[in-house]
Amino acid sequence: FPTTAGIFMEPFVADEYIERLVWRTPGGGSRGGAEAFDPKRLLEEFINHIQELQIMDEKIQRKVEKLEQQCQKEAKEFAKKVQELQKSNQVAFQHFQELDEHISYVATKVCHLGDQLEGVNTPRQRAVEAQKLMKYFNEFLDGELKSDVFTNSEKIKEAADIIQKLHLIAQELPFDRFSEVKSKIASKYHDLECQLIQEFTSAQRRGEISRMREVAAVLLHFKGYSHCVDVYIKQCQEGAYLRNDIFEDAAILCQRVNKQVGDIFSNPETVLAKLIQNVFEIKLQSFVKDQLEECKKFDAEQYLKNLYDLYTSLSLKRTTNLSSKLMEFNLGTDKQTFLSKLIKSIFISYLENYIEVETGYLKSRSAMILQRYYDSKNHQKRSIGTGGIQDLKERIRQRTNLPLGPSIDTHGETFLSQEVVVNLLQETKQAFERCHRLSDPSDLPRNAFRVFTILVEFLCIEHIDYALETGLAGIPSSDSKNANLYFLDVVQQANTIFHLFDKQFNDHLMPLISSSPKLSECLQKKKEIIEQMEMKLDTGIDRTLNCMIGQMKHILAAEQKKTDFKPEDENNVLIQYTNACVKVCAYVRKQVEKIKNSMDGKNVDTVLMELGVRFHRLIYEHLQQYSYSCMGGMLAICDVAEYRKCAKDFKIPLVLQLFDTLHALCNLLVVAPDNLKQVCSGEQLANLDKNILHSFVQLRADYRSARLARHFS
């Protein structure tokens, strides 16, 4: 195949090139099989092809050398041309510098000449202007205005400029000699001012911003400029309040004016601030008055709600209300202080006595919620005594646990209602929120404390404390039979309610008083309430436990027979434990479950431990009332084992230990006389007083016959 330089251009692969060469050579490839392969022919082709490549390489090399020589020649010519251009550039730069110096010299001369001309022209212009003003002044002096500037309505701008200057000059003239001309100038001044304001008003109605800007610029030097601003503000608000939401209307109005006012007035921030002030002091104040005055007399709840809604709609503390939108504008002053004063001016008469309305409403509302609840229960609240006698009764009851006064049958009613509590807390929560928004920062802790005292009065005293007192009065005496014990239900509900009270204290009151002296006062009041309630709860629980023990005593007295532990036929005892034991254990398990459901935390363990100790003392004293035969002693051990199994439900180690010891003591009723001493020195009984061991051994029927006293002598 033909050998040219083009076949060696990228991408060039040597292996493919050789393969194509071999394939094109007859006898060099695989065509025709192994017999057709001719290595000599292939070698000859390779040698010829290598020679062709060498010849082509020499041609290419000569061509490269020729091109290199040509390139070097052109490079030398280019370098020479660059040197010539550099020399020309240096000459041109030198000429430029000379020209620049000459221009600077001429400019200096021109500036100097200009200063001289201005020094001559300025006094001349002033003289010309003064001459014109004197001419116009003479026309006023003569009483006839002939100049075109005063008679042509299209030249009102020039006339305004002249009359404004004449008005200033007239102020300096003595009144006695120039009173008439001063009066004429003042009259013309006033007429032109009115015409300009009228022109501004018409331009605003036509929406001609450029004309409004021109007239406002002329009026800027007149006394009536503020009236021009007032007219603009008044006309801006025409048809602006068409929606039901006046605050949204006001925000849209201010946003529209903010975009426009900079194109009309030279002091847009002042005009916008005046518009906002006008909106607040006239439109919004009237709206607030309409919303509040009527309901203030007849509906305190609606009044407080409206006051809160309106105030928060304007408050700077919210990001979605009118004030926050106005904060985005340039008002030229301290925006926050400016808006705060406007808001305060609207609401000051309502905020001054806000807390009186709040506390009055909260008291009446709380009293109504409680009364409605007691009416639904057909319950007439009885007065709980106060003063010295009641305090004396309370102290006697706490120390002696005696029920002073007749027991009241509450028919299982706790007189506590979570619905009532939620309603009271909701009302107080709303009061705290209003208090936070509507109170002055200096009055906030004091006002929050007043709301808190009302919550304490109606929730803690009038509801919870009343229920505790009623519950205490409803606890029967410890010797009552089949007594219904509802006080634990009171405990359960009071506990739940107080958790809700504590949560509101932390969530809503604490943030309002955390950095004030009222914090310690609130904490102290809360502590006193808790202590007072805990004292009554403790008293009620203690008396309830006494009633439980009294009930167990009735069961034991009614069901336990002397023959249970000293049967007539020792060989015919078929029961595992006595009927009294079964009923007592069933009663105890029921009460334990009730205690666990009524309390939480460590209180459960504390009350169960107290009940367990009293339960143990009751069984201990009960067992010591009987004499025991051998089989009766075995039955007593079975009873105590059942009592111990019941004591395991308490999950109190001390109670279980007491019944373990009691079980060990009961073994003394059946142990063989010879082993008695060994059992008494056992692990569980070794630490007990010898008199206790002796008292149990004395209960045995064979105590005298077996002469068991000798073991304790």
Q: How far apart are CA 168 and CA 172, in angstroms?
A: 7
Low-confidence winner among 1-5, 103-107, 232-236, 588-592 (lowest mean pLDDT): 1-5
Residue 485 has pLDDT above 90, yes or no: no
Q: What is the pLDDT of residue 187?
A: 67
Q: Residue 289: how many CB atoms within 10 A of its CB?
A: 13
pLDDT category of residue 271 using cuts at 50, 70 and 90: confident
Q: How far apart are CA 459 and CA 450, in angstroms?
A: 14
* pLDDT higher at 194 or 145: 194
Structure tokens given for 23: 């394939």
Q: What is the pLDDT of residue 316?
A: 53
Q: What is the pLDDT of residue 130?
A: 59
Structure tokens given for 463: 């509801």
Q: What is the pLDDT of residue 400?
A: 52
Q: What is the pLDDT of residue 69?
A: 92
Extended strands (E) in 195-245: none
SS3 566: coil
Judge whether 458 and 493 are in contact, CB under 8 Å.
no
Q: Residue 110: how many CB atoms within 10 A of its CB?
A: 10
Residue 388 has pLDDT above 50, yes or no: no
- Is this prediction's pTM over 0.85? no
What are the two backbone dihedrals, phi and then psi, of residue 339, each rounded to the nearest 5 degrees? -70, -35
Low-confidence winner among 35-49, 313-327, 353-367, 615-629 (lowest mean pLDDT): 313-327
Segments in 12-38 forming alpha helices (H): 14-24
Low-confidence winner among 233-242, 480-489, 624-633 (lowest mean pLDDT): 480-489
Percent of the chain with pLDDT over 90: 35
Q: Give the DSSP per-residue string, 235-294.
A: HHTTT---SS-HHHHHHHHHHHHHHHHTTT-S-HHHHHHHHHHHIIIIIIHHHHHHHHHH
Structure tokens given for 377: 């229960």
| 117-131, 262-276, 551-565: which is most confident | 551-565
Residue tagged 């500036």 (tokens):
111
Q: How far apart are CA 216 and CA 270, in angstroms?
A: 14
Judge whether 42 and 28 are in contact, CB under 8 Å.
yes
Distance of CA 692 to the CA centre of its chain: 66
DSSP bridge pairs for 628: 700
Distance of CA 497 to the CA centre of its chain: 24
Q: What is the pLDDT of residue 133?
A: 59
Residue 73, C-beta contacts closer than 8 angstroms, at least 6 positions apart: none
Q: Which CATH class is domain 561-711?
A: mainly alpha
Q: What is the pLDDT of residue 387?
A: 42
Residue 522, C-beta contacts closer than 8 angstroms, at least 6 positions apart: 449, 452, 505, 509, 513
* pLDDT higher at 309 or 7: 309
pLDDT in tens, 240-267: 887 778 888 888 888 888 888 888 888 8
Q: What is the pLDDT of residue 34?
A: 65
Q: How far apart are CA 399 and CA 493, in angstroms?
A: 26
Q: How far apart are CA 48 and CA 33, in angstroms?
A: 25
Low-confidence winner among 114-118, 349-353, 518-522, 652-656 (lowest mean pLDDT): 114-118
* pLDDT higher at 460 or 180: 460
